[in-house]
């Protein structure tokens, strides 16, 4: 597996990481623990060194899973986790909380669940409108000075917020959605990251599975699957967006690869400091995603993709309104 550095930092990771959320949360029933551990360890054996989790995934269960799975080779991997929410007794989110004292509490608990003495990359999961970002950055800076955290990250933050945080504690990475069907970061976010030397870790690089071609208008999701409330995943939107999937499928067929691999290879070629984190619960999909790092898109192929995508209107918002309100603050 090729390696990349996140921005100007010294944090070197595999060119493709593993988003672990879906093993515990968000896409239906949690994967059986033994199988989830096997998948995580197989990813490591195939060169993946960046593993992404959060206290919110479960909550807590995904961090515990990673702690157990990665314990045998903890020093050889980079673990990213997140803070920023509070949870009720039923495990649901009860609001945002990025106050300094709460960040410290979350960090201490995450260290125990992850079975480690340091968090490699600590993201604010969503920007808290009630807490100045300078205070958030300052709290993480203290944890870095104490050796409990190595790097500070933000998720779904605006360009202005990134700049404000960066003046207090250098931001190593921004995690936000970015893919061939969500290119908004190209407008302000990517230029800002490039200027400041910050890495970019796109989540949902395969459009929550849609860009793989495995989902169509007739697909039904588990009752616990997050996609049931996403406007972009209504049957009508899936039917309307099939044009994009067909485009990827055609290019993939000519290269002897898969649609997923083309989508990931496209992301990798955008900037050398972009590290996508596709998630999966299936070993064959894991292998497919990892092999995307070996797919090279020619300038002609990139031009073909760009020209075709520019003519496609993607239908449906990527979040329901109440979740979209948390983005870009």
The token duo for 221 is: 């999701």
DSSP assigned state of 228? G
β-pairing, 78-83 vs 50-52, is parallel
Asked if 57 is an active-site residue, the reply is yes
Catalytic residue among 57, 123, 178, 210: 57
Q: Tell me the two tokens of residue 316.
A: 């449906």
CA distance 64 to 69: 9
How many residues make up the chain in this entry?
329
Count Cβ atoms within 10 A of the Cβ of residue 220 and give its class: 0-12 exposed, 13-18 middle, 19 or more buried. exposed
> Which candidate, 234, 236, 264, 237, places its Cα nearest to that of 248?
264
- Cα–Cα distance between 264 and 274 in angstroms, integer? 11
In the chain, the largest separation of any two C-alpha atoms, in whole Å, equals: 54
Active-site residue list: 57
């Amino acid at each position: 597996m090729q390696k990349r550095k996140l921005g100007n930092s010294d944090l070197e990771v595999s060119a493709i990481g593993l988003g672990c959320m879906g093993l515990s949360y968000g896409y239906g029933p949690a994967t059986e623990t033994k199988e989830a551990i096997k998948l995580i360890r197989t990813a490591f054996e195939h060169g993946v060194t960046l593993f992404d989790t959060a206290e919110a995934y479960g909550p807590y269960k995904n961090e515990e899973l990673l702690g157990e799975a990665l314990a045998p080779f903890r020093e050889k991997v980079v673990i990213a986790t997140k803070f920023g929410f509070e949870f009720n007794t039923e495990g649901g989110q009860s609001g945002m909380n990025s106050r300094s004292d709460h960040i410290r509490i979350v960090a201490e608990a995450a260290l125990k669940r992850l079975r480690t003495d340091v968090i490699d990359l600590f993201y604010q999961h969503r920007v808290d409108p009630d807490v100045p970002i300078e205070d958030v950055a300052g709290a993480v800076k203290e944890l870095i000075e104490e050796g409990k955290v190595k790097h500070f990250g933000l998720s779904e933050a605006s360009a202005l917020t990134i700049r404000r945080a960066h003046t207090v504690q250098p931001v190593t990475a921004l995690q936000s959605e970015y893919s061939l069907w969500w290119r908004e970061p190209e407008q302000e976010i990517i230029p800002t990251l490039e200027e400041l030397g910050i890495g970019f870790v796109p989540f949902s690089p395969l459009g929550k599975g849609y860009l793989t071609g495995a989902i169509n208008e007739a697909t039904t999701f588990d009752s616990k699957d997050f996609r049931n409330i996403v406007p972009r995943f209504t049957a009508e939107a899936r039917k309307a967006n099939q044009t994009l999937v067909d485009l990827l499928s055609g290019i993939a067929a000519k290269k002897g690869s898969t649609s997923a691999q083309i989508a990931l290879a496209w992301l990798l070629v955008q900037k050398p400091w972009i590290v996508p984190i596709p998630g999966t619960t299936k070993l064959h999909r894991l292998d497919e995603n990892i092999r995307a790092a070996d797919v090279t898109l020619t300038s002609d192929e990139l031009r073909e993709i760009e020209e075709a995508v520019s003519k496609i209107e993607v239908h449906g918002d990527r979040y329901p309104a109440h979740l979209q309100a948390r983005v870009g603050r």
